[in-house]
Structure 1
Amino acid sequence: MTAELTGVVAVAVLVGWGCTEVGVPASWIFGFLIVVGGYSLLRDRTISPPSRLMQPAQVLIAMLCTTPLMELDGETVRSYLLPTTCSVLVMLVVSAVAGLVLARSGHTDPVSAMLSTLAGGASAMTLMARELHLDLRFVVLTQYLRLALVVLTLPLFVHLLGGSDAVSHGGADTWWEPAVRPVAGAAAVWALTWLFVRLTRRLFSVPAPYLLVPIAVTWGLSAAGVPQDWLAPHGLILTAAYGIIGVQAGGTLTISALRRMSHALPMILTAVTVMVLGTLGAALIIAGVTDISRLDAYLATVPGGIYAVLAFAHESGSAPVVTVGQVLRTLVMIVVGAYLPTLVRMLTGRRQMRDADDC
């Protein structure tokens, strides 16, 4: 089996290299997603990177997207407030509509249906479903199906909304560069992130710690005078991180999981489609009333796959509004998910009271 997986990785590297040559944004994520996703379906086997690889990869993507945030001034931040707030509100509404569609289908309970459509990180929502004793299988399938479809459609939307400018900025001659400084910088940020999470986990819980903490650490190190070329990962280390994120996005769905939930699959696909089309419509409106480009508006609003989205944003040369919008969306969705059972009980309780009064 090890030899088989080694062959899969080799094929993924070739596909990623080919995508880089033709200018596909975030080509290494896309290459690994396609190859590992196909293998996972054919072999009916979930492929998930171990946490010791996944967490450093998440830190690298967070570092990568912190660099443009360091250059923001007060006026630019203020200009981001309206579109970012609108994108988060739209995502909440779209998630709620998709959740109601699933809840009314009768395939699961209302809380599980709503949680399965919250775009606050598939792993975070899965963990929350386990802690709240919800329909874990339904939440896992819906969340990772959303993640896979969103990431798979990203190259298409990047091309359609960005036109000829939506090409990889990495270049075919730099993806393999074994640069020392970004490796040392990434190791320092990873060590500080790990230490912070380790020391504070018993005192309080940081949502999405391997996204938010490295952003704060990278920002702090930059403010302390650490050169940017130490804090902006590139070359071979970033290529490896992209590949790991691609494996995580592509290796989650299996034939068995789809077969077990076949009765609910049409409704789940409908709900995910509603989410994607809803955010696309919102992005076009935001781009029409602000100075933000259509591509940046979509990437800031897209429902899920935050690490892949941020990687695509970097490769496409997007503005910092994408990072601001995606981080805020993740935080809001995690908070809403934590209080979702209480909110659903309040709403269903009021409905039952109205029904009783009508009787």
Structure 2
Amino acid sequence: MCGVLYCEDVGRAVRGDGLASASPVRSLAAWRRWAIWPALIAAGFAAGELAEPVLPAPHLLAPLLAGLALALTGLTTRQVPRAVTQVCQAAFGVLVGGYLDAHSLFQTGPGLIPLAVVTVVTILLSLGGGAVMTRVGHVDRASAMLGMVAGGSAAVVSTAREMDADGRVVAVLQYLRVAMVAGTAPVLAHWLLTPGAMWPLADADHEIGPVVTGGHQGLGLVLLALVALAGTLVARAVRLPSPALLGPMLLTAALTASGAVGGFAPTGALRTVLFTIIGLDIGLRFTRSALAHIGRLLPLAALCTLVLSGACGILAWLLARFADIPISDAYLATTPGGINAVLGIAVASNADVPLISGVQGLRLVMMLLLVPLLVRFGRWSSTAR
């Protein structure tokens, strides 16, 4: 009996000592869990650098593939902390909001109506592609719609978790289209413009230099943080879907359109780090079963992408004819590829960048506003039945 009591007392003492010393142990474990992410991000950054000559959007796709390899081999089962992805979404919101150049759109005069019509038709085509993926491919509504959103692939992929969509499916659908468009757009730009048109990298980004678009980097970073925080808080207060992305995006678009303040959108190394984190976040979520399921979707996804791209090409021809816009500018403004890839081609080919970024940005903003509402409506109607 005494031996039992002694053992219990020793056990209590050990447990008591354990509790007393658990705090620094837990702190060390927590520190190790967080310390791994800077190393993974740095490795993803380096992978993107190496992949620039061979991949479209390399600073997102290379980390995605690296995360996929880590997940499938079992080297890590961890996922990017939610707080980190929320910060990335807010920064992406600022990035996307800066693309919307309302002044350039209004300068088109009579051509504004055809531009608006083409934008609406492209949105409807994207939603139609999402409906096909849902009905034929048996993909959930949120993942199908986000996957078929035309343009803004990184921003769209970053919202998948928040909308209860499968980020892996969304990423595959988005970057299948980005790869197809990025692979053909330089050829078409070369053909539509002049024989001397450049063949730019799809996601070329100079990592050494400014991290925000303005001349005053310190002030720009402060404004970036304030706009991201204020936009997110306001969006949550009014219950906007995907508040971390849409709030900063709308606030940035309003500030940019008013001309009140600017020069705080992420660029250079900061922009690349955002891409890297989003890529890792998606890649680390892959499993063998998910990869097999997505592989079965590829033929249907490729067909939908080809149809969408062909329809956008017809819209570009109509826009060039009725809005008195050069066919090359009309094509780059309507193509459903990633907005960063399109703008890179536009800059290198001396196209009308403000017009192209305005049309692409307008379509992206409208899509990101509409898709969450349509997903919610679809869920509500299914529940009502």
Is TM > 0.5 for Structure 1 vs Structure 2? yes
| CA shift digits 1:309-346 (9 cap, x unpaired) | 23223323341211111221222222111111344578
How many angstroms does 1:187 deviate by? 2.8
Map 1:1-359 onto structure 2 (within 5 A): 1=36, 5=40, 8-9=43-44, 11-12=46-47, 14-15=49-50, 19=52, 30-44=57-71, 45=76, 48=80, 50-51=84-85, 53-66=87-100, 68-73=101-106, 75=109, 76-103=111-138, 113-119=140-146, 121-129=156-164, 139-163=166-190, 164-165=197-198, 167=200, 175-178=207-210, 180-199=215-234, 201-207=236-242, 209-211=244-246, 213-220=248-255, 223=258, 225-226=260-261, 230-231=263-264, 234=267, 238-249=268-279, 251-253=281-283, 257-261=286-290, 264-291=293-320, 293-298=330-335, 301-302=336-337, 309-317=338-346, 318=353, 319=356, 320-344=358-382
CA distance in 2, matches of 1:220, 1:161: 35
SS in 1 for 2:283: coil
Q: Alignment RMSD, CA only?
A: 3.6
Residue 106 of structure 1 is matched in structure 2 by none
> Do the aligned partners of 1:189 and 1:217 also contact (CA within 8 Å) in 2?
no
CA distance in 1, matches of 2:362, 2:313: 18
> Do the aligned partners of 1:296 and 1:321 also contact (CA within 8 Å) in 2?
yes
Higher relative contact order (CA 8 A, sep 6+): 1
Alignment: residue pair count: 307
How many angstroms does 1:58 deviate by? 0.6
How many angstroms does 1:289 deviate by? 1.2
> Do the aligned partners of 1:145 and 1:253 also contact (CA within 8 Å) in 2?
no
Of all paired residues, the percent bearing the same amino acid is 13
CA distance in 1, matches of 2:45, 2:133: 38
CA distance in 1, matches of 2:260, 2:37: 44
How many angstroms does 1:88 deviate by? 0.7
Q: Which moved more, 1:84-93 or 1:176-185?
A: 176-185
CA distance in 1, matches of 2:95, 2:80: 18
> Do the aligned partners of 1:286 and 1:297 also contact (CA within 8 Å) in 2?
yes
Which residues of structure 1 form unaligned runs of 5+?
Answer: 104-111, 130-135, 303-308, 350-359
SS in 1 for 2:57: helix
CA distance in 2, matches of 1:3, 1:123: 19
CA distance in 1, matches of 2:301, 2:97: 29
Which residues of structure 2 form unaligned runs of 5+?
Answer: 1-35, 150-155, 191-196, 321-328, 347-352
Q: TM-score, normalised by structure 1?
A: 0.70
How many angstroms does 1:113 deviate by? 2.6
How many angstroms does 1:221 deviate by? 5.6
Equivalent residue letter for 1:71: S
SS in 2 for 1:261: helix
CA distance in 2, matches of 1:243, 1:214: 19
How many angstroms does 1:152 deviate by? 4.0
Are residues 214 and 190 of structure 1, via their aligned partners in 2, closer, same or farther at CA, if it must alter by over 3 Å? farther
